[in-house]
Amino acid sequence: MAISDETRAARPAPSATSATGRKSALYGATDVRTVEGVVEDLVGLPMPQRPDTLNDLSARTKVRGERTPRFPFPIPNGWFIVARADEIEPGRTKPLFYFGKDLVLFRGADGTPYLFDAYCPHLGANLAVGGRVEQGSLRCPFHGWRFDGATGACVEVPYDDIDFIPKKATARSYPTVERNHMIWAWHHLEREAPTYEVPEVSEFDDPDWLPIHMRDFEIATCCQEMAENNVDTPHFMYVHGTPAIPEEDFHIDGPYKRSIGMDGNFVREGFGLGLGVLRVKGYTTFISSTTPIDEENLHVRWIFTSPRSLGPNAAEKAARTFTNAVSQDIPIWENKIYKDPPVLRPSEKAITEQRRWCQQFYSYPDGATRP
């Protein structure tokens, strides 16, 4: 199962460092066919659980050599987690890379979080490197222009006596909200306003429930592929080894989606393409969040809590169960393509419904149409 030192040495330098600070799972130009030994050991039906691969990207199995894009979608529109709330103090900045873009997250003096594209509209300095937070605005380290947090508009050019600042001197600012101990940003390819809200998960601040326990990891896939897993009921039997194919009721309303299974004991609510809230009665409530790093890579955050009555480690135990299970999906996701159209059995019509539902979360600016 282990990768030889020789194979490791042959691996190219990582093509990017992700927002998690770990080596990215991005497919680099030569980053393929490096783990043949692992492939030989990996026999499915069900897939083996390999929780060690969650945070060790070098232990992942990736064999794909074709260079064509794996998914025919742009980065979806929606609310996505960009940081844990405790990752950034008031008055501080933090560089991020999500949505295929360099970004700067900062908190105003009053604690309000703001997110900008990182590059200053003046001459392109990275605002996350030396930028200074002043009240609810950010001052560029290069020539001192100052940008309003909420709108991104330049509100001061300190060395020029001008009474008109052109509109072009505006940093792209993303709507943000702090909720469920996380900072969320609204990404929309055509910069339109949010069309739904981030739900409040009441258990996260309920004294009868444990403090949140978060697990995060990267996966080389896209939001839609990961979300499709939930409606792909046969895979539970063949990938995860459940004794039967589970049955679920599926309800859709605009950007909202709900599935109910296990005689009502399992409820999964979806809010757009990056955010699910799962409740397993008497066991756990958790947020499943997928933030696009770029078109083919995700930063997944799973945030668990469990009733205190189950003991102090209950949330951690639930996290272990779910992360063990997702380690079975990862080699499938990271080596597959999106098949369009797929060949489906009538019993798999939920996949078609899900794909139709997903279309509302994509924009094709500049007149581009869906491929």
Minimal distance in Å, beta carbon 232 to Fe ion? 8
Residues that bind ligand FES (rule: CB under 6 A) add up to a total of 9
Peptide bond into 166 cis (omega under 30): no
Query: How far apart are the C-alpha atoms of 329 and 352, rounded to whole Å?
Result: 20
Q: Which does 122 bind (CB under 5 to 8 A by kind): Fe ion, ligand FES, none?
A: ligand FES
- Does 219 sit near ligand FES (CB under 6 A)? no
Within 8 A by CB and 6+ apart from 267, the residues are 258, 259, 260, 278, 279
Which residues contact residue 364 at a Cβ distance below 8 angstroms, ignoring those fewer than 6 apart? 74, 189, 370
CA distances from 27 to 63, 69, 219, 225, 335 (A): 10, 11, 11, 17, 11
3-state secondary structure of 151: coil
Residue with tokens 């969650």: 54
Question: Is residue 203 involved in binding Fe ion (CB under 5 A)?
Answer: no
102-141 mask for ligand FES (x: CB under 6 A)? Answer: ------------------x-xxxx--------------x-
Q: What SS3 state is found at 203?
A: helix
Nearer to Fe ion by Cβ, of 245 and 368: the residue is 245
> If we measure between CA atoms, which residue out of 195, 193, 211 comes closest to residue 203?
211
Q: Which is nearer to ligand FES, 117 or 294 (CB)?
A: 117
- Our CB check for ligand FES shows the closer of 169 and 214 to be 169
Residue written as token pair 């899900």: 354
| Torsion angle, alpha carbons of 283, 287, 290, 291, to 10 | -150
Q: Is residue 288 involved in binding Fe ion (CB under 5 A)? A: no
Q: Name 173's bridge partners.
A: 116
Decide which of Fe ion, ligand FES, none touches 229; Cβ closer than 5 to 8 Å per partner kind: Fe ion
By a kind-dependent CB cut-off of 5 to 8 A, residue 329 interacts, out of ligand FES, Fe ion, none, with Fe ion
Does position 296 interact with Fe ion (CB under 5 A)? The reply is no
76, 355 contact by CB (below 8 A): no
The bridge status of strand 113-117 relative to strand 101-107 is antiparallel
DSSP class of residue 129 equals T
The amino acid sitting at 292 is P
Strands 284-294 and 275-280: antiparallel
What is the spatial distance between Cα 96 and Cα 118, in angstroms, rounded to a whole number?
9
Residue of 229, 259, 285, 297 that binds Fe ion (CB under 5 A): 229
145 binding ligand FES? (CB under 6 A) = yes
For residue 122, the minimal CB distance to ligand FES (Å) is 3
Q: For residue 94, give the amino acid letter.
A: K
Q: Among 22, 101, 143, 320, which residue sits at the site for ligand FES (rule: CB under 6 A)?
A: 143
- Cβ proximity to Fe ion: between 53 and 229 the closer is 229
Nearer to ligand FES, 109 or 123 (CB): 123
User: Given the complex with ligand FES, which of 90 and 124 has the nearer CB atom?
Assistant: 124
Q: Residues 297-336: x/- map of binding to Fe ion (CB under 5 A)?
A: --------------------------------x-------
Contact flag: residue 171 with ligand FES (CB under 6 A): no
By CB under 6 A, name the one of 42, 49, 63, 142 that touches ligand FES. Answer: 142
Name the residues that contact ligand FES, by CB under 6 A.
120, 122-125, 140, 142-143, 145
Name the residues that contact Fe ion, by CB under 5 A.
229, 329
